[in-house]
């Protein structure tokens, strides 16, 4: 047994210093999490999530539901990607009590608890929790982005099937079918399926069943997707529900013929960012009706190079494509839409769809969608939705502080979360001393204080407000840049008497 040591002298360039270990100190690496916890409490989002959780553990030794879900919350906020990383959260002796937790549980307890949740009940629970984040935005004209992304797998998981995977061909994977609100970057829902189920034929049943749960006034003004979604079944489903759509078309022979006709005879208009567009009608062989289509083209520079890939194995060759002055070369795309808008507007809408890729990059690389993998598909689906929910909470919270731009986790966590905090109890008060080393913290400090004052108005009037009414006020403040011209400002709160 090693002897007990109070302090160890260490010789440094600044003289001798003493190192002392205090394993019982009430410190946390997320010193500013209290502000986010206040957001969760005053909106009612966290309590509602806990109260409606379908997990029911009857053993006297079983951890509380709040402790299990709170541990997941702390782990995801910390940027973890594996259940084993939850061990590091257990050293946090400050934030668990602030969340109303009695303890931080082990990763094995989390795994077992998720396994005991019934799939149908847990799907309803998480969809309703996600809905609490965005429901009050659906009364404004909004755009639905639908897309899929691939999660590579490296074990023997259920659903680990080789499918479409351009980055790592032949690698088993899961497919994440995701629905998002454009611009505000909120996830509406996500469905995890085997790697070979990446086509819209597997997306559409869940997507349109979800859309059918919305009132007509809540349905999207426009649905956008890439060329995989530009098929007759998806467009007919949108037309039956009177939902506008904007999809890209695959380069089939009929589409190529349409491109050639427009290239020669089309009336070209400016589409912005160097693009030009021409409108027309197109009817593919599998379609019953003709639909509006737009050809977009952008002129290429004369200096063009070509890499030939289909040469000897493992070799590629580069060639100069000398077009000279005799030829004009273009890159092009064809869009199909039900909108009757100007070409400039349609082109802008489709270019804006590329923001989906930024969302996927953030969710996979900064929020754990690429991790938290288990052998069964059920828990993978649960964690995908839970991560999307926590991501939505954090996105709204950060927008409340910085309403003019989206801050990804790689930027917002160091600024608003990852600071050393030490709790001191004195004279009946609990004080968290925070030391931020971020260079921009002083610029954002006043915004954090202002947000805390905003939530104090909730506290004095909490009995008057339901969860949707609270979220309406929160979302109006967070996304005022997008909705102020559409939604009236919520009524001023009356103090309790």
Residue 3's pLDDT is 54
Residue 495's pLDDT is 43
**Helices 409-416 and 441-460: angle between axes, nearest 10 degrees:** 80
- On whether the CB atoms of residues 284 and 232 are closer than 8 A, the answer is yes
Complete DSSP assignment for 129-167: HHHHHHGGGTTS--EEEEEEEEEE--S--TT-EE---SS
Rounded distance between C-alpha atoms, residue 190 and residue 443, angstroms: 36
Please report, for residues 96, 99, 415, 474, the alpha-carbon distance to residue 34 in angstroms, rounded to integers and kept in the order given: 10, 9, 14, 18
Phi-psi region of 431 (alpha: psi -120 to 50; beta: other; left: phi over 0): beta
Can you read off the two tokens belonging to residue 310?
């289909």
Tokens 């809540």 correspond to what residue?
Answer: 218
Q: Report helix, strand or coil for 347.
A: helix
Strands, sheet with 429-435, edge to edge from the N-terminal-most edge strand: 27-28, 420-426, 429-435
**Long-range contacts of 438-447, Cβ-Cβ distance < 8 Å, separation of 24 or more:** 438/414, 440/415, 441/415, 444/401, 444/402, 444/415, 444/416, 447/401, 447/402
Q: Which tens digits make up the pLDDT trace of 298-355?
A: 988 767 777 776 655 556 776 776 666 677 778 889 999 999 999 999 999 999 888 8
Rounded distance between C-alpha atoms, residue 365 and residue 402, angstroms: 22
pTM of the model: 0.90
Can you read off the two tokens belonging to residue 469?
């009414």
Phi-psi region of 348 (alpha: psi -120 to 50; beta: other; left: phi over 0): alpha
Can you read off the two tokens belonging to residue 290?
């003709």
- On whether the CB atoms of residues 159 and 214 are closer than 8 A, the answer is no
- What is the dihedral sign for C-alpha 112, 117, 118, 123? negative
For residue 483, how many other CB atoms are within 10 A of its CB?
Answer: 19
The residues, ordered by sequence, that sit 6+ positions from 6 with a Cβ below 8 Å of its Cβ are 20
- On whether the CB atoms of residues 178 and 202 are closer than 8 A, the answer is no
Q: Which of 156, 146, 154, 205 is nearest to 176 (CA)?
A: 146
Tokens 């009336």 correspond to what residue?
Answer: 267
Query: Residues 156, 161, 165, CA angle at the centre, nearest 5°?
Result: 120
Can you read off the two tokens belonging to residue 435?
């030391």
- On whether the CB atoms of residues 127 and 189 are closer than 8 A, the answer is yes
The residues, ordered by sequence, that sit 6+ positions from 37 with a Cβ below 8 Å of its Cβ are 46, 95, 98, 99
Rounded distance between C-alpha atoms, residue 69 and residue 306, angstroms: 53
In sequence order, what are the beta bridge partners of 403? Answer: none
Tokens 């003289």 correspond to what residue?
Answer: 15
Q: Report helix, strand or coil for 369.
A: coil
In sequence order, what are the beta bridge partners of 148? Answer: 177
In sequence order, what are the beta bridge partners of 247? Answer: 225, 336
Residue 320: enclosing H or E segment and its boundaries? strand 317-322
Residue 303's pLDDT is 72
Residue 122's pLDDT is 95
Bridging pattern class, strands 222-225 and 244-248 = parallel
Tokens 């929020």 correspond to what residue?
Answer: 367
Bridging pattern class, strands 291-299 and 27-28 = unpaired
Residue 496's pLDDT is 40
Please report, for residues 35, 237, 252, 350, 404, the alpha-carbon distance to residue 449 in angstroms, rounded to integers and kept in the order given: 9, 48, 57, 39, 18
Complete DSSP assignment for 201-239: HHHHHHHHHHHHTS-GGGS-SEEEE-GGG-SHHHHHHHH
- On whether the CB atoms of residues 377 and 192 are closer than 8 A, the answer is yes
Rounded distance between C-alpha atoms, residue 50 and residue 342, angstroms: 47
Q: Which tens digits make up the pLDDT trace of 46-68?
A: 999 999 999 988 888 899 999 99
Residue 497's pLDDT is 35
Residue 494's pLDDT is 41
In sequence order, what are the beta bridge partners of 19? Answer: 8
Residue 487's pLDDT is 47
Q: Which of 351, 344, 329, 381 is nearest to 151 (CA)?
A: 381
Listed as ranges, residues in the chain with pLDDT below 70 are 1-5, 302, 309-315, 318, 321-325, 459-463, 484-497
């Amino acid at each position: 047994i090693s002897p007990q040591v109070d302090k160890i002298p260490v010789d440094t360039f600044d003289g001798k210093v003493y190192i002392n270990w205090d394993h019982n100190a009430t410190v946390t690496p997320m010193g500013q999490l209290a502000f986010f916890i206040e957001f969760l409490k005053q909106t009612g989002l966290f309590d509602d999530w806990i109260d409606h959780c379908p997990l029911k553990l009857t053993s006297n030794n079983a951890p509380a539901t709040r402790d299990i879900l709170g541990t997941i919350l702390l782990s995801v906020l910390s940027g973890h990607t594996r259940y084993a990383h939850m061990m590091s959260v257990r050293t946090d002796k400050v934030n668990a009590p602030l969340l109303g937790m009695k303890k931080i549980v082990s990763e094995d307890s989390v795994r077992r608890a998720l396994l005991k949740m019934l799939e149908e009940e847990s799907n309803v629970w998480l969809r309703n929790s996600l809905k609490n984040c965005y429901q009050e935005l659906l009364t404004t004209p909004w755009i639905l982005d639908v897309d899929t992304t691939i999660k590579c797998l490296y074990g023997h998981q259920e659903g680990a099937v080789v499918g479409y995977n351009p980055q790592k061909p032949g690698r088993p994977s899961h497919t994440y079918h995701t629905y998002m609100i454009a611009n505000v970057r909120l996830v509406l829902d996500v469905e995890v399926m085997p790697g070979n189920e990446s086509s819209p034929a597997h997306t559409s049943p869940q997507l349109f069943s979800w859309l059918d749960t919305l009132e007509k006034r809540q349905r999207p003004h426009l649905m956008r997707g890439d060329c995989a979604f530009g098929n007759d079944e998806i467009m007919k489903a949108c037309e039956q529900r009177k939902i506008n759509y904007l999809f890209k078309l695959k380069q089939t022979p009929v589409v190529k013929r349409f491109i050639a006709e427009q290239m020669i005879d089309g009336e070209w208009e400016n589409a912005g960012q160097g693009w030009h567009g021409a409108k027309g009608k197109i009817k593919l062989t599998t379609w019953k009706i003709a639909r509006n289509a737009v050809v977009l083209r952008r002129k290429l520079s004369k200096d063009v190079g070509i890499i030939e890939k289909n040469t000897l194995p493992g070799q590629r060759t580069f060639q100069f494509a000398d077009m000279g002055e005799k030829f004009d070369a273009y890159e092009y795309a064809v869009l199909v839409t039900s909108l009757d808008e100007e070409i400039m507007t349609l082109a802008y809408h489709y270019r804006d769809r590329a923001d989906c890729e930024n969302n996927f990059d953030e969710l996979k690389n900064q929020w754990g969608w690429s991790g938290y993998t288990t052998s069964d598909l059920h828990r993978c689906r649960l964690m995908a939705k839970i991560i999307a929910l926590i991501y939505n909470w954090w996105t709204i919270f950060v927008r409340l502080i910085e309403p003019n731009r989206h801050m990804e986790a790689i930027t917002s966590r160091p600024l608003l979360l990852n600071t050393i905090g030490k709790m001191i109890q004195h004279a009946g008060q609990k004080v968290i001393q925070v030391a931020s080393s971020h260079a921009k913290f002083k610029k954002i400090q006043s915004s954090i204080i202002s947000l805390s004052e905003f939530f104090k108005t909730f506290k004095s009037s909490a009995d008057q407000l339901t969860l949707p009414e609270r979220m309406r006020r929160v979302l109006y403040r967070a996304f005022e840049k997008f909705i102020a011209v559409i939604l009236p400002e919520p009524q001023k709160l009356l103090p309790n008497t």
